[in-house]
Structure 1
Amino acid sequence: MEILFIIVGAIVFAIIGFVVYRLLKVTAKRKELESLRFNRIQPLFDQLNSETEISTSDVLPFAQNILTRHDAYHLLKKYDKAELFPAEYFTLLKGAESALVVWLEFPTELDACPDEIEHIKRVTIDFDGNSNFVHYEVFKYRVDAPHWAAKNGWMLGVVGPFFDDSGPYHYAQATFSRINSSADKVTPEDEVRWVHQNISMRRR
């Protein structure tokens, strides 16, 4: 019996140790990512905090870059200079695309920026059965080897929900990807239904 307690105790200790290690590792990587994201837009941040005139052309490189687009818009908005954001990138689709990439970069998700990403379609659903419709934007993305997800090929990512009056860079609380959802095996409609039921509705 004593040996059994020792074995069970060792297993419990090992599990707790792994959970703590995982938590510390994820926390460290999250902080590292937050620092990286800020460093990417720091030149824009420095301009906004200086007496230098800033124009749309100064913002353009940050709007073009899918990794900085989302953060650059919200930084400008914080400084009441959102009007400087380039019009061609001030669209719901451009914002949704960047929001998905920001989400995918988190260490608990893909932990990388996709090497390719494409918009597939908008999927609209009646979320309460009373003709109250919400929209989700569906993208497919892929990564190159040696990333562990390269073997999955094209994967699906969902951003939403959006409403008829949602503007560009609207907060999409159900931005999500199951990573292993192959674009060849799962339809955009099925993926949206899964995200809506398992992510969006649980956060209400």
Structure 2
Amino acid sequence: MVNIIISPRVSAFLQEHKSRWGTKIVFVLQSHTDEPIHVLNLTHMIESPDYSGFSFRQVQQLLLNQSTIPQTDVVTLKQVDNELNRLIKLKAWRQSVEADCSDIDKTIQQLVSYRKETTRPNGTIKGFRSAVEREYQRHQKAIQRLLKKAKKDCPDAYAYIRNHLKSGIYFQWVTDDIDNKKFVFPTIQNKKKTTTTHRRC
């Protein structure tokens, strides 16, 4: 570990905001300078989850499994479609006898909304965000909030964090200043194309 020397003003700012998740990220990265830390490992280093009751194999699967969990299944969607067809026919009959259809309209809207929320325009099933993407977004937003606060209250801390913190699937605290030309603000891309290249906060 490299000894990190920072100005009193920066140190005071970080201590004042030590309870912030973004500051905790900074502290963990500073304690492992120049060491790339995976987003999931970073989470566990800040706030270790309770794995009591889990076997070692189960824990490994929880940490390593980045596959997407589907939001629904084919059987459920088929049931939804069948119910929609039934309700549409029932609504047509009610309209023919000039009966109230408000209850049917409400149910139809709920089923249509469910289908829209769980499937893509091409009909394929959506998946919940992977643990990696979720934690990346969590860390990135925390850092951005910290930077916003620092830019307002302590410009030195703002510059200090931006010049040393790299983010991506792996976060890293770099002892040498980061070359501004090599890093851009990170964005989450399609899961299948997510890059592991380090990017600047």
Tell me which interval the TM-score lies in, with the shorter structure as reference length.
under 0.3
Normalised to the residue count of structure 1, the TM-score between the two structures is: 0.22
Structure showing the higher helix proportion among its residues = 2
Structure showing the higher strand proportion among its residues = 1
Q: Which has the larger radius of gyration?
A: 2
Normalised to the residue count of structure 2, the TM-score between the two structures is: 0.23
